[in-house]
Amino acid sequence: MSSEALRTVTLALQNILHSGLGGGGVPDDTVFVGPPVPGLVGARPVSVFAFHIEPNKELRNADRLVDTGGSDPRAQQALPLDVRYLISVFRQASATDPNELLRMGEIIAALQNNATIGGALVPDQEVRLSPEPYPMEELSRIWGLFPNAPYATSMVYLASPVYIDAATFARGVPVDSRRLDSGTSAVPPDVFGTGGNGLAAGG
C-alpha cells in the first residue's frame, strides 16, 4: 500500500470501534481520531490515538510479496511498521454509572471479533490487531503527554504489520521497434567554433 496506509488502517480501526458501539451516523460521531484531550474529543465517548510508530524488527529485512494476478507474487520494496494505539473511553457528564466500562467491554469484544483487518477496509494487506500489556507506569507516561487532560480508562492495541510501499514512478511506454537513419551531411561539422573549415573564428 502507498503512503495512505497509516491513515487507512486508522480509519478502519475507527470504523470497527464505531460499529462495536452500535452507534448510528458516521464513525466520527462516536470515535475521535487524535489525542484524548477533552477540548478536541468533545462529546464523543471514545478516542483512538496512534502514539507510537516504529519499524517491525522481524519483517523489515524480508520481502513483501504482492499478488499481481499472475502465477507468482511480486516482491515490493516496503517498510513494515508496528503502530500502537491508545484507545480511551470517557464517562458522559450526565451518567450516574460507570458506562465507560461498558463501552470498553464492547470495544474489546469488537476487536476480538476483528482481530485481522484487510480486504475492502485495508486493500492488499492483512493487519493484525492485538491488545498490548501496558502496566500502569507505562500508561502514566503516555498520559503525561497530555498534562491538561484527566486520565480516562484506556487500553493499548498494536496494529502490525502496516506496510508503507516505496514510492513508484510512472514509466514510459516500452520500446517495441527501432529505426536507424544514416546519410552524409553536405556541411562539415562545426568543431570548437571553427565554422566548419578547420580555422578558428576570426582567424
Q: Encode the chain in three state secondary structure.
A: CCCCHHHHHHHHHHHHHHHHCCCCCCHHHCEEECCCCHHHHCCCCEEEEEEEEEECCCCCCCCEEECCCCCCCEEECEEEEEEEEEEEECCCCCCCCCHHHHHHHHHHHHHHHCCEEECCCCCCCEEEEEEECCCHHHHHHHHCCCCCCCCCCEEEEEEEEEEEECCCCCCCCCCCCCCCCCCCCCCCCCCCCCCCCCCCCCC
Which of 37-51, 57-71, 147-161 shows the lowest per-residue confidence on average (mean pLDDT)? Answer: 57-71
- Interatomic CA distance for residues 107 and 110, integer angstroms: 5
Looking at the whole model, is its pTM more than 0.85? no
pLDDT of 170 reads: 45
Residue 152 amino acid letter? A
pLDDT of 3 reads: 83
- Quote the mean pLDDT of the chain: 84
- Interatomic CA distance for residues 195 and 197, integer angstroms: 6
For 11-20, what is each residue's pLDDT tens digit? 999 999 999 9
Cell of 202: 576570426
Q: What is the β-pairing status of strands 126-132 and 64-66? A: unpaired
99-113 vs 5-20: helix axis angle to the nearest 10? Answer: 120
Cell of 11: 480509519
For 35-63, what is each residue's pLDDT tens digit? 999 999 999 999 999 999 999 999 887 77
- Using alpha carbons, select from 43, 47, 45 the residue that is nearest to residue 32: 47
Q: What is the β-pairing status of strands 31-33 and 46-55? A: parallel
Cell of 98: 460507570
